[in-house]
Structure 1
């Protein structure tokens, strides 16, 4: 079986979510290629995957794409923390229309589609597996007659909005259809249908207790956190003398030049505590801090899979890969979602809701606009002193270990590909 993965440009964390399944298919004997724009070529090579380069490097970062739509800073914190079903409840149409006009098209340009469809028609993949932000995937699959499925990187929020728009009815055109139907027509992909939006099936990497829409056919798969090529630093050879706390803001926003929670606020919160802090932040992120406290070890990067087994807690932005690493090593989590764009609705809200409800962590603030050093310090000490947080994190790890691994998902992928491939 020939399998073509379609990855988004310059989003290493999304590529790393795909990597374990790509290798599971390869070690099962299938021919695997990963299509991307040139921005991701180095990351693909480092993951040991075979790249198919299409189009040109992104001319803009995600921050530049979205800066025109950034909402004004809020003056007062919301009265309650949200739940996933609150996303764009007042006007899902406007949110989805914005996404299909100002964000998603930038992730797969006309040049990328042209190159990719040319390759796919020559190589003839049986299956196209596409990142849930990269709608070049179904267009390519339709153009070459392959089966196709999505891989979720977080909450299925695009389909959430699409279902809400359809449920509301009215005379306004479906934004997804308005955007995708001309692409299908241009590239010989046939008529628009629902599977173009949600795939013929969907590989779901989210925890089973998170909210999800009703329409897609989901295949659950354990999110095996892949950290990329790395070396264990020598200082991690010895266990910490004090409780160790990791503070990280993830890799995606650092590389996309997107603002996160203030490093100054985060370090101020922990500077006088009897803990050892490992802050995985770049020099640019640390620039806002007047000084680095004596109990803080600032490192540009350290792989979560070797750091977290030594940690008593982790403070982070709610990214799916960071959460998967924390689940795997049973580390209590303190979540402060980014205030950037609508990002908190694509994983952090749904996961933070479930994490807090299960007593394995704390949702620190509505988002990073409302984080305070005093609030973080208080909640961190509560998590470190109350053993129930660790006990519940161990329980969640056991639950996650019961989900199918990428290797165990391969037979279902093979069966579904055969069924849908015959149908085209």
Structure 2
């Protein structure tokens, strides 16, 4: 088979796709990853063949020019107000329709103008893939698939934001219109394809989330274990040296900082205040911009711009993070108890950090400390001490790892993809 992956301009999104791309290649299939020119070097470094589609995005500049997202007009979440925490399944409150419209407008305007969609379709017609595997925000991937009769599936990197948002907006579509239908329907029509929910959800959806992480109902999910891939890097020697004190990783991930997205994560200064007086060694993966608000780096903190979590976490007693999907998966892989400070700022709440925080806490494998907007040094310090001092968190993190290792690996999923592709692929137009 020929399999075309469609990724978005975030390394973390690309890295989720790479283990499956390699599993397919080693099974004898041809694979190509399509992304914007901004991602060409990152794709090349994975060793998987790639192709650039569309124009250079200059994502950081475009993000800076995006106007503020309107505030939801519905009632506030009573649980969030009472506890400083949220529940992923509660996010039908407020006005998700406004947020859905903003999502579609942003994806179309920033990632996929018509010229980029046309470029993707032209490449698909040339290369003739049998299967198109799309990032969940690479919405026009279905157009390329339908244009050549290929099967189409989504590959999630977190919880199913699109399915949750569409379910919350269903009644509004009838009265106020469906902005996704308005966008994709004219693009699908020239190929005799109809807009329906399979155009949005894929004919099936690969999900890396453990069964105990909340997800919407009514979607054909195919579970696949998230095998962490942190990208090419040279690991410093000190990472492998046994720490003299308990080691704790503190990270806010790479996606937002690479795209210059600000104001959605916990404060680095507050994070450092929380750990400064604890008898631990802290490894903080922050870049210079993230450290601008920090007046003094505590003596027990080592800051590094980047270190592969796959290499660092085996030596860690705990990790503090914002609920990023790659960080979540790598922490489970190495049975590291997690202290999660997720954000639920506007559309950020749909990305799944809340669901992961809820799930980790429910499994006893970590603590949902508090939402980023409510975080204080005292609250975070108490959460971290709780995880470090109670051995049940490490025990439950080990149990969570065992459960996740029971999920099908990318290698295990290949025969299922072959079967589903044969079932859904149509004759060439």
Same fold (TM over 0.5): yes
- Asked if 1:11 is matched to 2:15, the reply is no
User: What is the rounded CA distance, in whole Å, between the counterparts of 1:396 and 1:403 in structure 2?
Assistant: 11
Give 1:124's aligned residue. Answer: 128
> Are the counterparts in 1 of residues 364 and 393 from structure 2 also a CA contact under 8 Å?
yes
- Asked if 1:314 is matched to 2:319, the reply is yes
- Asked if 1:236 is matched to 2:236, the reply is no
- Asked if 1:284 is matched to 2:289, the reply is yes
User: What is the rounded CA distance, in whole Å, between the counterparts of 2:258 and 2:38 in structure 1?
Assistant: 11
Mapping 1:3-402, distance limit 5 Å: 3-8=3-8, 10-61=9-60, 63-64=63-64, 66-69=66-69, 71=71, 78-80=81-83, 81-166=85-170, 170-185=174-189, 188=191, 190-259=193-262, 260-338=265-343, 340-366=345-371, 368-402=372-406
User: What is the rounded CA distance, in whole Å, between the counterparts of 1:173 and 1:71 in structure 2?
Assistant: 20
- TM-score, normalization by structure 1: 0.94
The one-character-per-residue Cα deviations of 1:327-363 (angstroms, maximum 9, x if unpaired) are 0000000111135542232121111111101111111
* Gap runs ≥5 in structure 1: none
The one-character-per-residue Cα deviations of 1:111-167 (angstroms, maximum 9, x if unpaired) are 211111111111111000000010121011111111100000111111112123225
Give the Å deviation of 1:104: 4.5
> Are the counterparts in 2 of residues 221 and 404 from structure 1 also a CA contact under 8 Å?
yes
> Are the counterparts in 2 of residues 160 and 213 from structure 1 also a CA contact under 8 Å?
yes
Give the Å deviation of 1:109: 2.1
User: What is the rounded CA distance, in whole Å, between the counterparts of 1:148 and 1:272 in structure 2?
Assistant: 52
> Are the counterparts in 2 of residues 131 and 151 from structure 1 also a CA contact under 8 Å?
yes
Aligned length, in residue pairs: 419
Give the Å deviation of 1:217: 0.9
SS in 2 for 1:5: strand
User: What is the rounded CA distance, in whole Å, between the counterparts of 2:260 and 2:344 in structure 1?
Assistant: 14
* Gap runs ≥5 in structure 2: none
Give the Å deviation of 1:233: 0.8
> Are the counterparts in 2 of residues 65 and 103 from structure 1 also a CA contact under 8 Å?
no
Give the Å deviation of 1:268: 1.0
The one-character-per-residue Cα deviations of 1:24-75 (angstroms, maximum 9, x if unpaired) are 0011000000111101111101111111111111144363364421659x9x
> Are the counterparts in 2 of residues 2 and 31 from structure 1 also a CA contact under 8 Å?
yes
User: What is the rounded CA distance, in whole Å, between the counterparts of 1:278 and 1:177 in structure 2?
Assistant: 46
User: What is the rounded CA distance, in whole Å, between the counterparts of 1:215 and 1:374 in structure 2?
Assistant: 41
User: What is the rounded CA distance, in whole Å, between the counterparts of 2:359 and 2:258 in structure 1?
Assistant: 28
Task: Identify the range of structure 1 (170-179 vs 44-53) with the bigger mean alpha-carbon deviation.
Answer: 170-179
Task: Identify the range of structure 1 (213-222 vs 296-305) with the bigger mean alpha-carbon deviation.
Answer: 213-222
Task: Identify the range of structure 1 (203-212 vs 101-110) with the bigger mean alpha-carbon deviation.
Answer: 101-110
Give 2:408's aligned residue. Answer: 404
User: What is the rounded CA distance, in whole Å, between the counterparts of 1:399 and 1:262 in structure 2?
Assistant: 33
> Are the counterparts in 2 of residues 6 and 136 from structure 1 also a CA contact under 8 Å?
no
Please report the RMSD computed on the Cα atoms of aligned residues, expressed in angstroms: 1.9
SS in 2 for 1:35: strand
SS in 2 for 1:286: coil
User: What is the rounded CA distance, in whole Å, between the counterparts of 2:378 and 2:271 in structure 1?
Assistant: 10
The one-character-per-residue Cα deviations of 1:176-197 (angstroms, maximum 9, x if unpaired) are 2122112223x53522122101
> Are the counterparts in 2 of residues 65 and 102 from structure 1 also a CA contact under 8 Å?
no
User: What is the rounded CA distance, in whole Å, between the counterparts of 1:292 and 1:71 in structure 2?
Assistant: 35
Give the Å deviation of 1:88: 3.5
> Are the counterparts in 2 of residues 66 and 341 from structure 1 also a CA contact under 8 Å?
no
